[in-house]
Structure 1
Amino acid sequence: MDYRLGEVARAAGHRLHVHDRLGSTNTEALARARAGETGPLWVAAHAQAAGRGRRGNAWASTPGNLTASVLWPVAGVEPERVAGLGFVAGVALADALDEACGTADDCPGGDAARRFRLKWPNDVLAGGRKLAGILLEAETLPGGRRAVAIGFGVNVAAVPEGFSDVAASLAGLGHAADAGTVLATLTNKLAAAVRIWDRGRGFLEIRERWLARASGLGSRIAVRSGVETLHGVFEEIDEGGRLVILAPDGARRTVTAGEVHFGTAATAA
């Protein structure tokens, strides 16, 4: 498998380090930042021993799947705008999957099986099952410099063992794209999406693109955050990237973090 940058990303000054095996590509990216690297630097690994998702959950590494992170420069970005990079990454990844996998007419099973949707805050779904996850991690370095790593895990070749009922893979959906193709396309799409984001000044356009792919928009939803579970209708994400729920009592409530459930799972949550 040949990991490479796309032409747009190379022209924008992105660089790529490829490893046979790492504990975590996000950890490696942040270690590079502590050593003085500013980015944009991509770190990809053929195998990952200690991958992680949100809330400290493990992210399994399966041969043929994509595991990569990008160290993104945030000098001059207002701290409250940095979280918007998670939505930039989601839009870029969904666009990359569209391009890498071809048009809906090329997809076995038709559009419903292949449409890539975004689940707040950081998952990509295919056919209602998790296809990819994104992890944004920030660190304040000595001297006050900030570093941000955006990690991508995509089930390209296979679903990790034990997750076949809730996860999907590109190969399982009938797509022939390999991890190298997905990464090259992703680097291009991220370079383009970051230009739109424009250090947070263009977040509203990113927000509209994200909402156009939002899973469960306008439907009943439950969000579990700590010991509290909120029920209602998923209305939108606001200008800060927070989930907005229309509660049964007519009040609008915003959520900054939590586990989202749709449909019958929302009722049971």
Structure 2
Amino acid sequence: MNSNHCSKLLALLLAATLVVSAVGPAAAMSASASGAPDEKQVGEDVESTFTITKPFSEYNTWTLNGETELDDVTWTVQLFDQSGSKIDQSSYDGQSFNHSLEQSDAFEVKVVVKGTVPEVENFTYDPEQELALAELNQLRDGGSSASIDEWTFRPYTTESQEARDAIDSARDAIDSADGSGADVSGAEDTLSNAVSAFDAENFGNAVDLADEAQTKAENSQQSSQQTQMLLYGAAGLLALVVVVGGALWYRSNQQDDYDKLR
């Protein structure tokens, strides 16, 4: 092979490498959510939409699985082409569904979930309870599966939210008092009892204890500030006495020296 032919071959290989580098790897499948709440009251209705883009970037055939902890659930699976036109739609009832997908013109898959926030069996302050709004999975023949994405939210009732807000407010007051050097041990103990009452779902008692803890923290901080002011006042008075005493002593010595000169 002559040098001229080798040079042409190398040039072609280099050009091919540059083209591949410029194109880059194909974009992978991804998911996003719209209308997914961070928290929601028990008994309220929820409607959220989840969009899966490039569903066939990895596999030509697979099954979309969805799961939720909502009650009275309806799922709607919609397929859209790249222009945004709907090309297919299916609906399912229940807390889970499976929808078979095959290579098509679908550029996006939208999953709409509608349901109701269920009752909470056990409330806890920390960690706060979470419910699954939606979990989308990719199922393959043979039983293998991979999570596409999942979304959760915090359920609450009017009573549990009031108790949580009271505990949070008391915690802020304790942190503020502690930062000023106040003794917050009593407030901490009362707040701990408030949290225990919350976990026992005795929300009214939790509010009362949290309010008591906040009052203790605020009183402790006020007392600490008053003590500091008294100390500052005493230090200032002492400094004034020293200055005045020094001035009087100096004046007295000056007068004695003047009398001796006379």
| TM-score category of the 2 structures, normalised to the smaller one | under 0.3
Greater fraction helix: 2
Question: TM-score under structure 2 normalisation?
Answer: 0.18
